Amino acid sequence: MSIFTRARYDKNGKRICARCGSDRFERVLREGFLQTHIMPFFHRYPWRCVICNLTFYRPLRRNAEDPAEWR
């Protein structure tokens, strides 16, 4: 898991996984000191690719292009 994983987008502007190219993500529970104490300070939450299990951080859902609609 990397806190520096950057988002990638396909030709249509849809967010995709940086490792496998999937567009399926889910929010995961915080674990450990970094996720429970440090990342909330920056308003970052852990997300996981359903296909390859890459975990990355991003802000909580705010608009129509958020992970709730990526499934």
Question: What would the pLDDT profile of 17-65 be if each residue is shown by its tens digit?
Answer: 888 988 898 888 898 888 888 888 888 888 899 999 988 888 766 555 5
pLDDT range class, residue 2, cuts 50, 70, 90? low
E strands within 12-65? 15-16, 25-27, 45-49, 55-58
- Please say if the pLDDT value at position 71 is more than 50: no
